[in-house]
Amino acid sequence: MTVTRFAPSPTGYLHIGGLRTALFSYLWAKHNDGKFVLRIEDTDRSRNNEDATRAIIKAFDWIGLAHDGEITYQSQRDEIYKKYIDQLLDEGKAYRCYMSCQELDSLRETQMSNKERTRYDGRYRDFEGTPPEGVEPVIRIKAPLSGTIRVKDGIKGEIVFNVEDILDDFIIARSDGAPTYNFVVAIDDALMGINSVIRGDDHLSNTPKQIIVYEALGFDIPEFYHVPMIHNENGKKLSKRDGATDVMMYKEMGYLPKALLNFLVRLGWSHGDQEIFSFEEMLALFNPKDINKSASIYNTEKLDWLNAHYIKNTPNDTLVKLLQEYDLVLSSHDKKEILLDVIKERSKTLVEMVTQIKEILDTPTQYDTKAVNKAFKGEAKAILEDFKARLMTAEALHLPSDYHHLVETVVTEREIGFGKIGQPLRVALVGKMGGPGIDSIMAIIGKEETLSRIDNALENI
Ligand code: GLU
């Protein structure tokens, strides 16, 4: 059974790149009817905090990716890590190193002045003498001294690391007993049965160290998929300056989880030239082997385009619920169907929807000067008066087409172009140019409100 995991370090919020790795991991597990688990890597107590963990879980809830089983917290697993440290010490695969900070510093300086790679020199590897007093030892693992470490990567192919270029006997437990990052990641992945590790390729340099831990403990090595980073349009790693990196900001900006997931699945993965994927299609088609070898480019227009697509295809009753989270309550509005049908065709985000809806529902309190100058020329007021008189006596006005019909009678009888009534009417209704068709606007706000807005305009313009 395929078991994948997402293993964020809670240092802030859920990063958009992290969500992409989580999505890939989720899809691959579920594609194979496997499990997707969540592990919070909160061993570095100085940097981690509970708020950050909560923020990550909240973002997961919003996006709707469910993890299997309980969340694993590394901070609660000290006993487990300690057991494996002791095991390695007993088996002679790890050892205590009593080097002081000063000794380490001076070793580093010598290596730097000799233009050598800075590395631990193994001086306690086979130490059998009496340990120096007053130094709490760290625990180091016995790494191979030469040869190569091969990482079989499902995306990048085989990557060969030369031991002498990258490794030394690295620390697996600090002098206060705290286990180190690469050690606990390997142990947890093994104990949690993770057999496909999908993560950002910024972790690639950790993988040889983790392989050494797997081998020392006799664990099976999982399949690795190191996913290339997301870049901005200038080819640099995506950063806050390029837009939102916090997943919850996407909610705030009015993106739908479905659109964001569709956007993310296409960042680095493709299936022919298909752009729109339902979640079911993603599940059926995703394979990490098809992830691109090179970085993907973040493109806001693409996200907007996808979001517009998903908004358009969201049923109105769902939109009513979603918009409520943006403080727009439409549940009791009798023309909400017409309103949403019109607005969802024209909006890239839910936030845009709210703005556009308010522009219709809120009586204008001022009129755009440019629009007024353009629309209120010549006979404009007389035409509006005429329309108003017809509107007052008209009955059974419900649909946009009913209002359209009324506008048309004015156009025909006065032998004027549509704009001659359309423009001043629009300014009277919403205070400016632009927006959906005036017949829809009138059907949405209704006869009384239309009359009152026309009166306001006639008085105030
Ligand atoms: N905790 C790491 C991070 O947040 C991920 C570790 C991993 O996927 O192996 O970057």
pLDDT in tens, 5-36: 999 999 889 999 999 999 999 999 999 999 99
For residue 67 and ligand 1, the question of a CB distance below 6 A is answered with no
Residues 208 and 167: their CA atoms lie apart, in Å, by 8
Beta-strand relationship, 157-162 and 171-173: unpaired
Four-residue CA torsion sign, 115, 117, 118, 121: negative
Q: What's the rounded Cα separation, in Å, for the pair 68 and 4?
A: 10
Residue 48 phi, psi (nearest 5): -95, 150
pLDDT 10s digits, 117-159: 999 999 999 999 999 999 999 999 999 999 999 999 999 999 9
> How many angstroms is it from 194 CA to the middle of ligand 1?
14
Q: Quick check: CB of 199 below 6 Å from ligand 1?
A: yes
Ligand 1 centre to CA of 269 (Å) is 20
Nearest to 304 by CA among 348, 365, 252: 348
Which atom of ligand 1 is least distant from the CA of 202? 10
Q: Tell me the CATH number of domain 369-460, given options 3.30.70.1230, 1.10.10.350, 1.10.287.990, 3.30.1540.10.
A: 1.10.10.350
SS3 category, 234: coil
Entry pTM: 0.94
Say what the pLDDT of residue 11 is. 87
Instruction: Measure the CA dihedral 157/158/164/170, to 10°.
Output: 80
The CA 280 to ligand 1 mean position distance, Å, reads 27
Residue pair 433/368 in contact (Cβ under 8 Å)? The answer is: yes
Ligand 1 centre and the CA of 48: distance in Å?
13
Which of 237, 240, 289, 335 is an active site residue?
A: 240
Cβ 188 under 6 angstroms from ligand 1: no
Domain-by-domain residue ranges, the chain?
78-227, 369-460
User: Which one-letter DSSP state was computed for residue 267?
Assistant: S
Task: Find the mean pLDDT for residues 402-413.
Answer: 97
Nearest ligand 1 atom to the CA of 41 is 1
pLDDT digit string, tens, across residues 99-115: 999 999 999 999 999 99
Beta strands in 310-402 (DSSP E): none
- List the helix and strand counts (H, then E) for the chain: 19, 12
Q: Is 194 in the pocket of ligand 1 (CB under 6 A)?
A: no
Q: What is the rounded CA–CA span in Å between residue 22 and residue 16?
A: 10
349-397 pLDDT, tens digit per residue, is: 999 999 999 999 999 999 999 999 999 999 999 999 999 999 999 999 9
Residue 47 is predicted with a pLDDT of 67
Q: What is the pLDDT of residues 39-68, one digit of tens each?
A: 999 987 676 688 999 999 999 999 999 999
Percent of the chain with pLDDT over 70: 99
Choose which residue among 9, 21, 153, 202 to substitute to test ligand 1 binding: the one with the highest number of ligand atoms within 8 A of its C-beta: 9
What is the average pLDDT score of the chain? 96
Query: Is the beta carbon of 203 within 6 A of some atom in ligand 1?
Result: yes
The pLDDT-based confidence of 241 (bands split at 50, 70, 90) is confident
> In whole angstroms, what is the distance from residue 146 CA to residue 167 CA?
9
222 close to ligand 1 (CB < 6 Angstrom): no
**Distance set, CA 385 to CA 195, 389, 428, 444 (Å):** 75, 6, 12, 21
Helices (H), 170-299: 181-191, 207-217, 247-252, 257-265, 279-285
Mark whether 377 is an active-site residue: no
Q: How far is the CA of 182 from the centre of ligand 1 (A)?
A: 10
- CATH code: domain 78-227 is 3.40.50.620
Q: Which of 26, 40, 203 is the best mutation target for the ligand 1 pocket, counting ligand atoms within 8 Å of the beta carbon and taking the most?
A: 203
* Spatial CA neighbour of 163 closest among 100, 109, 106, 209: 209
